[in-house]
A and B are shown apart, each in its own frame.
Chain A
Amino acid sequence: MEELNALFHGFSVALTPFNLMLMFIGIILGVIIGVLPGLGGANGVAILLPLTFSMPPTSAIIMLSCIYWGALFGGAITSILFNIPGEPWSVATTFDGYPMAQQGRAGEALTGAFTSSFVGALVAVLMFTFLAPLIANFALQFGPPEFFAVYLLTFCSFIGTGKGNPFKIIASMMLGFAMAAVGIDIVTGQLRLTFGFTELLSGFHFLVAVIGLFGIGEILLSMEEGLSFSGHSAKINPRIVFQTWAKLPRYWATSIRSCFIGCWMGIIPGGATPASFMSYGVARQMSRDGGKFGTGQLEGVVAPETAAHAAGTSALLPMITLGIPGSPTAAVLLGGLMIWGLQPGPLLFVEQKDFVWGLIASMYLGNIAGLIVVLTMVPLFAAILRVPFSIIAPIIVVICAIGAFTVKNNMLDVWLMVVFGVVGYVFKKLDYPLAPLVLALVLGDAAESSFRQAMLLSQGSITVFWSNWLVGSLTTLALVLLAWPLFTALRERLRAAEQSG
């Protein structure tokens, strides 16, 4: 058990009072950064990176990675309380987390989210500890066709189960794709759909759309219903943590699936955001209560949170072993590594044992510290919902405005946020689903460029998506998932026709 020895050595590196202090500071800063929409983990780490230049590399990475864990935990808080995702990967958490809060179950949703985040991270770190060299090379198998197949799979697993007017689903999703296309085209370097406005150069950022559609849209809806967030009657009970824990083991199957999806998406590296969507979609299809998803199911919070945190954690693996960042935050950490004089790559595990195992040990400790910090704050967070609406509403608008601005330091985004707020309100009332739009906006660009890269490599032959077992099975699985609901719907319709006939 060479790894265990190395790990214990790592703990001895990480467990100094100075490092422990940095760990808690990092977690708390991370939670703050995670709560503020727009100010993501990547920004947070980038902002605090210069502070760490004077520290030893191991302490520095411990603090920065704890900021990252904190941000992963913190993203769920505003998603559940106010329907405003603090981070991109917590969008899927809003689907069931916010309805739960509206039913007065905010404490339960928060506890569920934090605990499953922890479980996801723990599984990813265990994998990191024992399998790192083995699975690191898995990422190398992913060329453009494989990436496209993964994105396709994400879409299909999520969209296949959508309910409601199919034309509204298509319209909403295609609007998302159209918005994703605005800006510079990676493959040709041309500007697209900017209509000559230099303000549109950088396109529509997904977080701005989400802050508007979900956050501001929700405030407009709440106003219409008469100045109330229905969560205000929630009882604040510290025991809620234990009561929720008693319920969680029920969702072991979802948990395992989500861990698997998360770890896999983190390694290849697909990122935490698609992982959370895919995990939510798959859970909805596989769960017995799948039909009730979206109405406040604890399982609907567990699935995306587990996957997001597992992906966020395992995204560090390709960064350390291959030097490919699995997420924007990992990209910033990567920059940090180089500045501290460490060269990420296959030799890091050999040449910088202290650093690597110190980092891995800090993943265990940081996540435990994070869980303790956020769980003790659950009653506090839930209590925010007791603040009267006429105080909290303008404060939310202010926070959203700050969030929309900080995404790209662009004033236009703040205006767009208001516009998206109105769109969100109208769409919600007309039953246009928002989730497909958001998903298309997140993944549209990446999916399109990997498709076109694949086309370039294969000289325009579509068979490239079945050119080896990996990409072939991914593509086929995606198509099956897409067709599945059509198939079941058809069968039900036939059965209904038989009965009525």
Chain B
Amino acid sequence: MENSKEAAHRTVRIGTMDTIVAALIFALGALVVYESYRLGSGWDENGPQAGYFPFYIGLLVCISSAVVFVQGLLRFKSDVRVFVRQDQFGQVLVILLPSAVYVLGIQLIGIYVPSAVFIGLFMKIVGKYSWLRSTVICLAVSVIAFLLFEVWFKIPLPKGPFETLIGY
């Protein structure tokens, strides 16, 4: 993208992200180790216990992420590569946030209506298509999905009040 703008944007550096992610992975590993230890991580007369493998897996997760963490810290000053710029991150959120809202929608009122709304609004607002085009495409996708899953393949997807209204 335009290089001239770069200076104007705040950035997150690779080094920062690297250490944060390594720390998170370490925490996950520690959680696995703790839980496996609780389950029994040794051998009994039936061979390895339920927690035997997860224990060492967790341990390896911890060790490797700790090394990555230290590597990240050592290079923290010298590594100036950019993880993400603010404008890029904004772009990512443009699809990530609506997707999250969409999934919430599925949970609340079934999959078909939120799908149509999500596609339609995304096309209209982000793609700047006309209302007509957005509406036609979003309805087409939803109706095809409905026919395919509910009517032909008989695979029930999440449904809500609207689907109940039309008898499904």
Q: Which A residues are within 8 Å of any B CB, using their own CB?
A: 32, 39, 43-44, 47, 165, 167-168, 170-171, 174-175, 177-178, 181, 185, 187-188, 190, 192-193, 195, 216, 219-220, 223-227, 388, 390-391, 393-395, 397-398, 401-402, 405-406, 409, 411, 414-415, 417-418, 421-422, 425-427, 429-430, 432, 448, 451-452, 455-456, 460
A167, A225, A432: most-surrounded residue (chain B CB, <10 A): A167
A422–B95 alpha-carbon span in the complex (Å)? 11
B28, B57, B61, B83: most-surrounded residue (chain A CB, <10 A): B57
Please tell me if the beta carbons of A174 and B60 are within 8 angstroms of each other in the complex.
yes
A455–B64 alpha-carbon span in the complex (Å)? 28
Number of B residues whose C-beta is below 8 Å from A?
A: 68
A272–B126 alpha-carbon span in the complex (Å)? 40
Please tell me if the beta carbons of A391 and B137 are within 8 angstroms of each other in the complex.
yes
Residues of B within 8 A of A455 (CB): 47-48
Please tell me if the beta carbons of A195 and B141 are within 8 angstroms of each other in the complex.
no
Please tell me if the beta carbons of B54 and A220 are within 8 angstroms of each other in the complex.
no
Say yes or no: A171-B119 contact (C-beta < 8 A), given A47-B154, A178-B28, A193-B35.
Answer: no
B139 at the interface (CB under 8 A from A): no
B130 CB to nearest chain A CB (Å): 12
Write out, one digit per residue, whether chain B residues 1-23 have a CB within 8 A of any chain A CB (1) or not (0).
10000000000001001100110
B64's partner among A174, A227, A452 (CB-CB below 8 A) is A174
Residues of A within 8 A of B35 (CB): 192-193, 195
Please tell me if the beta carbons of A168 and B64 are within 8 angstroms of each other in the complex.
yes
Residues of A within 8 A of B100 (CB): 418
A232 CB to nearest chain B CB (Å): 14
Q: Chain A's interface: helix, strand, loop or mixed, by majority?
A: helix
B50 at the interface (CB under 8 A from A): yes
Say yes or no: A390-B127 contact (C-beta < 8 A), given A220-B92, A405-B158.
Answer: yes
Q: Which B residues are within 8 Å of any A CB, using their own CB?
A: 1, 14, 17-18, 21-22, 25, 28-29, 32, 35-36, 39, 43, 46-51, 53-54, 57-58, 60-61, 64-65, 67-68, 71, 83-84, 88-89, 91-92, 94-96, 98-100, 102-103, 106-107, 111, 115, 118-119, 122-123, 126-129, 137, 141, 145, 148-149, 153-158
B25's partner among A175, A185, A451 (CB-CB below 8 A) is A175
A39–B51 alpha-carbon span in the complex (Å)? 32
Residues of B within 8 A of A225 (CB): 88
Given A167-B68, A187-B46, A394-B123, 15 more contacts at CB 8 Å?
Answer: A39-B155, A177-B57, A178-B54, A185-B50, A190-B39, A192-B36, A192-B54, A195-B35, A223-B95, A394-B119, A397-B99, A411-B106, A411-B107, A417-B103, A460-B43
Please tell me if the beta carbons of A223 and B92 are within 8 angstroms of each other in the complex.
yes
Q: Which chain A residue has the least Cβ–Cβ distance from B59?
A: A174
B22 CB to nearest chain A CB (Å): 8
B141's partner among A190, A398, A414, A421 (CB-CB below 8 A) is A398
Q: Chain B's interface: helix, strand, loop or mixed, by majority?
A: helix
Residues of B within 8 A of A168 (CB): 64, 68
B83's partner among A44, A178, A193, A429 (CB-CB below 8 A) is A429
Please tell me if the beta carbons of A171 and B154 are within 8 angstroms of each other in the complex.
no
Say yes or no: A171-B84 contact (C-beta < 8 A), given A394-B118, A430-B18.
Answer: no
Please tell me if the beta carbons of B118 and A429 are within 8 angstroms of each other in the complex.
no
Please tell me if the beta carbons of A226 and B1 are within 8 angstroms of each other in the complex.
yes
A452–B52 alpha-carbon span in the complex (Å)? 10
A171's partner among B32, B68, B122 (CB-CB below 8 A) is B68
Please tell me if the beta carbons of A178 and B32 are within 8 angstroms of each other in the complex.
yes
Please tell me if the beta carbons of A430 and B17 are within 8 angstroms of each other in the complex.
yes
B97 CB to nearest chain A CB (Å): 10
Please tell me if the beta carbons of A219 and B95 are within 8 angstroms of each other in the complex.
yes
Please tell me if the beta carbons of A391 and B123 are within 8 angstroms of each other in the complex.
yes
18 CB-based A-B contacts, threshold 8 Å = A43-B155, A165-B71, A167-B71, A171-B68, A178-B28, A187-B50, A192-B50, A225-B88, A394-B95, A394-B119, A395-B119, A406-B155, A415-B103, A417-B103, A421-B99, A429-B14, A452-B47, A455-B47
A280–B21 alpha-carbon span in the complex (Å)? 29
Please tell me if the beta carbons of A174 and B61 are within 8 angstroms of each other in the complex.
yes
A430's partner among B14, B54, B128 (CB-CB below 8 A) is B14
Residues of B within 8 A of A411 (CB): 106-107, 158
B106's partner among A190, A220, A226, A401 (CB-CB below 8 A) is A401
A227–B89 alpha-carbon span in the complex (Å)? 13
Q: Which chain B residue has the least Cβ–Cβ distance from A44?
A: B153
Please tell me if the beta carbons of A430 and B21 are within 8 angstroms of each other in the complex.
yes
Please tell me if the beta carbons of A456 and B91 are within 8 angstroms of each other in the complex.
no
A315 CB to nearest chain B CB (Å): 23
